[in-house]
Amino acid sequence: MQLDPKIQAYLSSPLGQMPPIAMFTPQMLRDVLKQFPAPVLNPPVHAVRDLTVPGAGGELRVRLYLPTASRALPLIVFFHGGGFVICNIDMYDDLCKFLANYSGCAVASVDYRLAPEAPFPGPLEDCYAALKWLAANGGEYGLDTSRLAVAGDSAGGNLATACAQLARDRKGPALRYQALWYPALDPECASDSQRSLATGYMLGRDTMQWFWGHYLKNPGDRDNPLAAPLKADVRGLPPATVATCEFDPLRDEGEAYADRLRAAGVEVVGRRYLGMIHGFASMPYLTAVANRALADLGADLRGALTA
């Protein structure tokens, strides 16, 4: 299939052009993103509340989204993307509001520390610390944390499924589901899709190698299953949705991970969105497929957490 025409037009515009990543330091790239913010749709949601919770290296911001005034809402703990190096919870405000509304669940978005200032395992330990705190204290905010899931996109998908490993191996908290959008799972960047889609689709192979290089400072970390979940023992992980895109360098690693989960007896919903590129779920202002994907994942989470 061909690229979605609206995605193609975006990639052909100045906003879709990316200078060579080697030109940037992490802070320079963060500053550039501030100069070109994405459109804000600000979908209505019942309530939004900012919390401060303990992380592995200090206090963290967590933004809690409530789709209704109902008590005892299930909770989705969400980890944003950005290659472990860029982005924050403010940039994912729209996505989390859509996810709360489509799922009917509360969403808690975690502002974990970024690499290279906090390399692996710092961001992961922040995410796990926030997950534990929310599971233990969510009742104070009207949440039913016996119905708990993790979710994330790109690097956040990596952090979500790594948190699922930690929750399994450290005996809690109990998770019912993991929802992964085009997750970054393999620092080798050697799959067929990494090679065939290396340039021309906004996220490139060189960019992913740059991100991984800042996140994994110790060469041995490349084989750590908490950093590279494709190398993990996935037995006993919670059921999952793994969403991928046709024109995404990360496509093959996401689909290979879904296959590994299935082979280990984990229930998996796998979807490949045709004509789409990496990050499309954050682009409902550009393509209606983003809304469909958010609704799909929201329905999966609703089914897992409200049954």
Q: Which of 126, 153, 248, 300 is catalytic?
A: 248
Q: Would the pTM of this model clear 0.95, i.e. be above it?
A: yes
Is-catalytic flag, 214? no
d(CA 61, CA 96): 15
Catalytic member of 103, 154, 193, 282: 154
Instruction: Indicate which residue of 80, 126, 186, 278 is catalytic.
Output: 278
Domain count, the chain: 1
Percent of the chain with pLDDT over 70: 100
Burial 293-306, CB ≥16 within 10 A → b, else e: bbebbbebbeebbe
Mean pLDDT across the chain = 97
Which three-class secondary structure state does DSSP give residue 205?
helix
CA distance 167 to 276: 32
Residues 151, 76 contacting (CB under 8 angstroms): yes
Q: Is 259 noted as a catalytic residue in this protein?
A: no
Band (pLDDT 50/70/90 cuts) for residue 297 is very high
**Catalytic residue list contains 248:** yes
Residue linked to tokens 């340039």: 199
pLDDT, position 18: 80
Bridge partners (DSSP) listed for residue 143: 73
Q: What is the mean pLDDT of residues 43-71?
A: 97
Strand order in the sheet with 177-181: 47-54, 59-66, 106-111, 73-79, 143-153, 177-181, 240-247, 268-277
Rounded CA-CA distance 192/198 in Å is 10
Query: What would the mean pLDDT of 176-199 be, rounded to a whole number?
Result: 98
Report how far residue 67's alpha carbon sits from residue 76's, in angstroms, rounded to the nearest whole number. 12
What CATH number is given to the structural domain containing 161?
Answer: 3.40.50.1820
Using N-to-C axis directions, what is the helix angle for 122-137 and 155-169, rounded to 10°? 60
Contact 220, 214 (CB under 8 A): no
Q: Residue 209 belongs to what domain range?
A: 5-306
Decide if pLDDT at 296 tops 90: yes
| Residue 1 confidence (pLDDT) above 80 | no
Minimal CA–CA distance to 87: which of 250, 294, 282, 297? Answer: 282
Residue 126, pLDDT above cutoff 90 = yes
Q: Which residues contact 114 (CB under 8 A, 6 or more apart)?
A: 26, 82, 84, 85, 86, 123
**What pLDDT does 14 receive?**
84
